[in-house]
Amino acid sequence: MQPEKPLEQLIREAQRDNKAAVEEVVRRFQPLVWATARRLAPNLDMVDDMAQEGNLALLTAIYNYRPGTAPFTWYAKRQVYYAIHYALRCSCRRWEREGVSLDAPLADGVTLSAILISEELGPEEAALVAGDQEAFWHAWARLTTRQQQVVAYRMEGQTFAAIAARLRIAPSTAKGAYARALAQLKKLLSTQVH
């Protein structure tokens, strides 16, 4: 059995495209690569991918290393760590952008798209509708009887002339009551929302 070559000599040979030297350096650094991948990966499914990223960074480190600047072990360790860390950040960003699939079944087997398409109101929507209705009826009660009548007839689709004839007022009075009612409703509802 031959004694192991010093690491610095293996690096020089690897940089001269000696494939056996490259393989030996990669073999020696596998414990570092895998330990880093296991430590940084958020789940076991990603360890293999992160180790692959670490090995690619190790190969790059072999060819980019300049002797005399720092020990190769330290240099390789930093390159592997940063490569795995960067790959994880990129994958997290991709997950954030992709979000959740609308077709993925939830815990009860229903998909998000089925919930979104559903005609029934969800709890948040029901609360908002109930709050909106309460605010509307509170504002409605603050209108005069004449304003309530004009708005109600107008919502039925009647013209101002028909409303005026029904209430025995001038069409301009019906228009004015309607405009004042809408302005007051708008003002009251906007203050209740804020």
Q: Nearest Cα to 175, choosing from 159, 189, 186?
A: 159
pLDDT band at 194, cuts 50/70/90? very low
| Lowest pLDDT segment from 30-34, 75-79, 109-113 | 109-113
pLDDT digits (tens, 9 = 90+) for 127-180: 777 778 888 888 889 999 999 999 999 999 999 999 999 999 999 999 999 999
What are all long-range contacts of 86-91, with beta carbons under 8 Å and residues at least 24 apart?
Answer: 87/49, 87/50, 87/53, 88/40, 88/41, 88/42, 88/46, 88/50, 91/46
> Higher pLDDT residue, 31 or 93?
31
Q: Which neighbouring-strand residues pair with 111?
A: 105
Burial class (CB in 10 A: 0-12, 13-18, 19+), 26: middle
Domains and CATH numbers, the chain: 7-98 (1.10.1740.10), 123-193 (1.10.10.10)
> What percent of the chain lies above the pLDDT cut of 70?
85
pLDDT digits (tens, 9 = 90+) for 102-141: 666 766 777 766 666 667 776 777 777 777 888 888 888 9
Q: Are 50 and 40 in contact (CB under 8 A)?
A: yes
What's the CA gap between 116 and 119, in Å, rounded? 8
User: Which helix (H) or strand (E) covers residue 165, if one does?
Assistant: helix 160-167
Which ranges in 41-170 belong to alpha helices (H)? 47-64, 72-98, 112-117, 123-141, 145-155, 160-167
